């Protein structure tokens, strides 16, 4: 079960890989455009400053949850690192997109994405990744909030046409819904609520299907790790190998504070 964090809140499964470590290649990306997708999300498009370096790092990969560690330089010379899903990497063309949740004026990456202009440069390391939908599963369960939506979008695009299952996406209100293409047998539902636990309730309410499920569940950490994980692991007895689950952010904590929370959680769970 790849329920660990990219920063090392536990070991990933054998297929997993981590981004952001010094041994991962660093690529400089140049912003080529910014598009407002919804009131809460912007898509920023990038082109690699050096396409060969980009191709070496992004090379062929089957993982749909590929993520990069972005370094935001600070006035004191330090870097603040933030983690984002790398969407639609074009290895030969040297381009990639990132969909950023714009969650107000707090933080580093959200405000940066809201205001960024073409020509700006940013260094990234990665990508890491650990999940791609298993085509042999009987059905798929994809659940996320807006932070996990880019990875769920990529997973839906990689599913075979005959795939069955559910994709459940939690957004604050209907204006935050986006176009999402899914195989006919995968039922997409949008949970529009400002209640933090709404995704938990929605996942619990899904009619459980027979057969082997492959699940991908990522979003706010409390909802995912303390709400959905016990449901899937204990009540539904999902085998570890069939579940990719982790918090992507933690309400009330910066990414640094969230990393500390994950370490505490991992230590508490041994
Ligand atoms: C593997 C992985 C992939 C990810 N992919 C994406 C992605 O593609 N797109 C994306 O938007 N995020 C993604 N995230 C989540 C993202 O890394 C965090 O949301 C990060 O904290 C944002 O940094 P920040 O500088 O904007 O805010 P921070 O400085 O980290 O936090 C400032 C404040 O904003 C709050 N906050 C942070 N994120 C959110 C949010 N999403 N909604 C509401 N409040 C928030 C924090 O709780 C804190 O109070 C991913 C995380 C991981 C681990």
Ligand 1 near 82 CB (within 6 A): yes
Determine the atom of ligand 1 nearest the C-alpha atom of 111. Answer: 26
Look at ligand 1, atom 6, and give the residue with the nearest C-alpha.
84
pLDDT at 22: 52
CB-based contacts of 198: which residues, under 8 Å, 6+ apart? 170, 191
Residues of the chain with CATH 2.40.30.10: 26-128
Cis peptide before 127 (omega within 30 of 0): yes
CA of 163 to the centre of ligand 1 (A): 30
Of ligand 1's atoms, which has the minimum distance to the CA of residue 7?
A: 53
Query: What distance in Å separates the CA atoms of residue 47 and residue 203, rounded to the nearest whole number?
Result: 37
Does residue 219 have its Cβ closer than 6 Å to ligand 1? Answer: no
Alpha helices per DSSP H over the chain: 51-58, 109-115, 149-158, 198-205, 221, 229-230, 255-268
> Do residues 65 and 214 make contact, with C-beta atoms less than 8 angstroms apart?
no
pLDDT in tens, 177-206: 999 999 999 999 999 999 999 999 999 999
| Residue bearing the CA closest to ligand 1, atom 45 | 103
pLDDT at 1: 44
- Residues in Cβ contact with 236 at an 8 Å cutoff, skipping those fewer than 6 apart: 208, 213
Residue 246 CA: nearest ligand 1 atom is 53
E strands, 86-131, where? Answer: 87-90, 95-101, 121-128
Residues 6+ apart with CB under 8 A from 50: 27, 28
Residue of the CA atom closest to atom 19 of ligand 1: 249
Q: What is the DSSP string of 192-217?
A: E-S-TTHHHHHHHHSPPPSS-EEEEE
- In which residue ranges of the chain is pLDDT below 70? 1-23
pTM (2 d.p.):
0.93
Q: 20 CA distance to ligand 1 centroid (A)?
A: 16
Q: Where in the chain is the domain with CATH 3.40.50.80?
A: 139-268
Nearest in space to 46 (alpha carbons), one of 101, 147, 126, 121: 121
Taking alpha carbons only, the member of 1, 48, 2, 4 closest to residue 27 is: 48
Q: Strand 186-192 vs strand 165-171: parallel, antiparallel, or unpaired? A: parallel
| C-beta separation of 83 from 6 below 8 A | yes
In this predicted model, what pLDDT tens digit does every residue of 116-166 receive, in sequence order?
Answer: 999 999 999 999 999 999 999 999 999 999 999 999 999 999 999 999 999
Q: What is the CATH number of domain 26-128?
A: 2.40.30.10
**Which pLDDT value is given to residue 217?**
98
Is 265 exposed, middle or buried (CB count within 10 Å of its CB: 0-12, 13-18, 19+)? middle
* CATH code for the domain defined by 139-268: 3.40.50.80
Ligand 1 geometric centre to CA of 59 (Å): 26
């Amino acid at each position: 079960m790849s329920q660990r964090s990219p920063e090392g809140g536990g070991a990933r499964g054998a297929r997993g890989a981590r981004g952001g470590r010094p041994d991962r290649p660093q690529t400089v990306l140049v912003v080529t455009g910014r598009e407002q997708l919804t009131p809460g999300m912007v898509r920023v498009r990038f082109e690699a400053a050096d396409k060969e370096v980009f191709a070496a790092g992004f090379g062929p990969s089957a993982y749909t949850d590929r993520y990069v560690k972005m370094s935001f330089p600070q006035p004191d010379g330090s870097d603040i690192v933030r983690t984002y899903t790398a969407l639609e990497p074009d290895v030969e063309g040297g381009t990639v997109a990132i969909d950023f949740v714009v969650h107000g004026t707090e933080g580093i990456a959200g405000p940066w994405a809201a205001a960024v202009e073409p020509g700006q440069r940013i260094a990234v390391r990665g990508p890491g990744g650990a999940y791609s939908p298993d085509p042999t599963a009987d059905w798929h369960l994809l659940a996320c909030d807006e932070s996990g939506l880019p990875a769920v979008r990529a997973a839906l695009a990689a599913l075979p046409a005959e795939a069955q299952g559910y994709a459940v996406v939690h957004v604050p209100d209907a204006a935050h819904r986006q176009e999402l293409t899914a195989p006919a047998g995968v039922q997409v539902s949008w949970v529009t609520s400002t209640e933090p636990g709404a995704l938990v309730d929605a996942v619990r309410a899904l009619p459980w299907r027979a057969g082997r499920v492959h699940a991908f569940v990522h979003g706010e950490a409390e909802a995912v790790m303390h709400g959905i994980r016990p449901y899937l692991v204990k009540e539904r007895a999902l085998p570890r190998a069939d579940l990719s689950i982790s918090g992507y952010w933690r309400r009330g904590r910066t990414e640094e504070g969230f990393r500390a929370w994950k370490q505490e959680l991992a230590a508490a769970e041994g």
